[in-house]
Structure 1
Amino acid sequence: MFTGIVEAIGKIRAVTPKGEDFVVSVDSASLDLSDVQLGDSIAVNGVCLTATKLPSQGKGFEADVSGETLSLTTLGKLNSGDSVNLEKALTPTTRLGGHLVSGHVDGIGQLLKRYTSGRSERFLIRPPKSLAHYIARKGSITIDGVSLTVNKLIGDDFELNLVPHTLQRTTLQWLKAGDSINLEVDLLARYLERLLQRNTTTDDNDENGDTSAATGLSLEHLAKCGFLG
């Protein structure tokens, strides 16, 4: 698990194809890896990767990237010298400054437009249609590993406001219209959808097939409690 608060901007040292997969070598730059062991998780542009090699000299690590990960993320487009957002897995004492992030990217979105708003930048992003219903105004979303708040919904698209500090400390500063980005929706949205689906199917523990006791959740109940607009 992660928080979506980027700790350092690293660089890709090398990308080595291994059949349908590849091995990525990352220069961790200012990120302290002294407390990282083989098998630990590190988020690279929002993608949870397992450290498979930690060189004894210098800063950096290697990780395997599977075909599944390549199909759902932008990691397959990385080249030597590209900058990436890095974050070590959280610990029980980590400050949760962003939101709970799994590092399991849901899909690839596209930056449609960016423009200046005061000292900040506004990003208009188009997610895959299959993810649009998870995104809510003032809800959380992760963009290339960065925890951000959704400012506005425009149809299936959504808008973000990035303050100068976020731009300076992440690779989002270099994004331009047309670029692809990794998206991870809020964990709560995923689980809520699953609970609602469960309420419309037969409870495995109910021999009579009665679905009323499955979760007690329904769209009507959520609307009544003020969770739906």
Structure 2
Amino acid sequence: MTVLHLADEGEAADLAAFLSRLLHYDRGAAVRLQAAGTALAVFGRPPSFEVLAIRAVRLAKPYENGLDVTLDVTVSAGELLESVDESAATAAVPEAVTGPPWAGVLPPRGGWRPVPGLPAPDALRAMIGAGIAEFRSRTQELPEEGRTRNELDRIGREIWSRTVGDTQLPVRAVHAAQSVGFLRATGELALLSSGAWLRLRTPYGSIAVRRAGLGALDVSVR
């Protein structure tokens, strides 16, 4: 069994918290793990947001059992969470699973350029609060017979597909960052682009999203 030695207890706790949040939205969630040397990237897709959430994890050393170059595998988020030992700062990599379609199409590794126009963190958090309040208000105004799943989804898509400031970043990407614990009170945020992708980078993880209308170019199938 491959054992990951995380940098410290804090990294283990943050990894466990990230996995728990993904499982909150999908009890059968899978994550793709990619690592080289002492850097591990954990990719997940909270289903209601249509984005990729990426948690970077520092490792104390590479792997046991001879895996000393790279690691690239899709596994059950639940099984990985069960294997995390926070006090020992370790996690055992579960058996591979057949990955969902998103796991085969990841953002590019490089070529990221800064994008101007991202509002301050406080403004972003206020934007999410306003969006949640608007959703509740509009759905509560619906007649009982009109409160269908399709209508609720339509209102949600309308609100969360709006863009942030003068950027092309959809509000749902910021909402996802808050929901998985990336949009905290401290730390600088940055918006980056590479090909068809936008990435909201925080000190705690990143949210990546495909920009609409750019086709299937500039993706990494790995």
Q: Same fold (TM over 0.5)?
A: no
Q: What TM-score comes out, normalization by structure 2 length?
A: 0.29
Structure richer in strand, relative to its length = 1
Q: Which of these two proteins has the greater Rg computed from alpha carbons?
A: 1
Q: What TM-score comes out, normalization by structure 1 length?
A: 0.29
Structure richer in helix, relative to its length = 2
Relative contact order, higher structure (CA 8 A, sep 6+): 2
